[in-house]
Each structure stands twice: as C-alpha cells, then as structure tokens.
Amino acid sequence: MRKGLSTVLIVAICCIAILGFIVYHKPPLYHSQSYVFGTLVDISIYGEPEDRAKSLSNEILQDFQHLHHQLHAWKPVSENQVSELGALNLAFASQSKPLNISPLMIEVLQDATKLSKQSNGLFNPTIGHLIGTWGFQADEFAATSVDDKKISALVSANPSMDDIVVTSNSAYSTNSSVKLDLGGYAKGYALDRAVRYLRKQHVTHALINIGGNVIALGQHGDKPWRVGIQHPRKPSAIATLDLLDGWAIGTSGDYQRYFMLDGKRY
C-alpha cells in the first residue's frame, strides 16, 4: 500500500515539475510601441528571446524613421533640410532638369506607378496640392474653408503618375501640378520591408501595425494573429479579424485625421 502511494506521489510530483517546465518555457511575446509616420506603431514578436526581439524591433523602427524622413511630403528633416520627397516635389513644381534620386526613391516611384495603373488611377499619390489645400498636410487640422475655384483648377490640372518620368537614377515631371504625397502608400511599403527583414533574420512569428495598417508573419502560438477593427464612433472594436501568415489589412476612417466645419466632417 505504501509502495503504491509512493509511486502515485512520485508521478504527481513529476507531472507538476513537467507542467512547471512547460509554463516556465512558454515562448515569449515581445511587444514594443513607438510613434513614426505621424501615428502609433506596434511591433509584436513571438517565440524569440527578449533581447533578440528587442534588437530586431529597434532595427525595424530605425528603418521606419529613415523612410519617414525620406518620404515625408511636407515636413522637413531638419530646419535646413527637406526630405528627399520634398526636394523632388520642388523640382516638379519648377519643372527643372531631372533630379538625381536614391535607389529607394526610384523603387518607390516605380511601385507607386504600378499600383496607380492597377487601380485605374483611383490610387493617385500626385494630388499633394489638393491635400495641402484642404489643410491635411499639418500635424493639427484647423477648420478650413476652401476656395472652390482653386480646387477646380487643381482638379483640372489632372496630375497623375503618368506625368512622372523615372530614369535609372533621376526623375522629373511633365506637369507642374504634380506634388507627391505618399501617405496612402508609405506605411504599406514599410510593412513589406519589415517582413522581408524579419524573414531574412529567420523570425517566423510577428505582427506589425502602423496606424491601422497591419501585416502578419506566422501566428501567435497555436492560433492566428487576431486584430480588432476600430469602431469609427465608439471606443471599441467593431469586428475582429484573424490574419494568416503573410496576410495584411489596411483600414482608414474619418475619426482621426479630420476637422469639423459648419457641422460637417472633413
């Protein structure tokens, strides 16, 4: 009887020890937040040691900052230096000789042109003058009454990606009304770069969110990554969505970057 009881006790202790080992060695979830591209950035890496996950997250954030400085349409890098995109827009406006640009900018322009054509022009990052006229090229938005004639003139100028000529190391525009604003593109481009970097580093599970633009790598433990879709008028999620490996989602709403004028939301 005592021998049987001892055996039961030993088995129970072993089970507790094994359970404790499993819990203790549960793959960690590292999470970091920062503010880039004028919005909140969330990076979650699952199954990597904390020190390595932190280092990888920092590398991604540094790349995001680099892209933010290069691709910002209206905010200068410093008091005496405009972004590369800002310099390109100045050259477009003056219709000067082709401006030498970086390989990254060439890649961005070629990719944006392809996306514009695939959408039959619905994606049009050359309407920066319109965006600025409405007051959305600013950190804070003030209620702005816009001159209808000015808007009509900008629309009639019909800027498009077809107006931009990209060579092996430079670019110029045949339409002075072209002003690039890559706000609808840069975050997705940054997410793709981040995933390529993590795969190259043999990271298999991560989730990156740049202001509602989200991409998934692998999964969260034994389940897909799950994201919430913000309700536009309530401080809660309107729905949740499971993202499989390589899936991405971009959301947009009128509840963050907007202003009210005469009871109307712009």
Structural domain span for residue 140: 74-182
How confident is the model over 108-112, as a mean pLDDT? Answer: 97
- pLDDT (average), residues 72-93: 92
Binned at pLDDT 50, 70 and 90, residue 4 comes out as low
Asked if residue 48 belongs to a domain, the reply is no
**Inside any domain, residue 190:** no
pLDDT in tens, 179-237: 999 998 999 999 999 999 999 999 999 999 999 999 999 999 999 999 998 888 888 88
Residue 176 in domain: yes
Decide if 140 is inside a domain. Answer: yes
The HSE-up count of residue 251 (CA atoms within 13 Å, CB side) is: 21
The larger pLDDT score, comparing residue 123 to residue 5, is at: 123
**Within-domain flag for 249:** no
Nearest CA to 151 out of 182, 127, 126, 121 is that of 127
User: In total, how many domains does the chain have?
Assistant: 1
Is pLDDT at 7 greater than 80 in this prediction? Answer: no
Residue 108 maps to which CATH number? 1.10.3980.10
Q: What are phi and psi of 60, to 5 degrees?
A: -65, -45
pTM: 0.84
pLDDT band with cut points at 50, 70 and 90 for residue 17: very low
* Residue 139 included in any domain: yes
Q: In this structure, is residue 87 part of a structural domain?
A: yes
Query: What DSSP string runs through 95-149?
Result: T-SPEE--HHHHHHHHHHHHHHHHTTTSS-TTBHHHHHHTT-SSSS----PPPHH
| Top-confidence residue, 10 or 244 | 244
109 belongs to a structural domain: yes
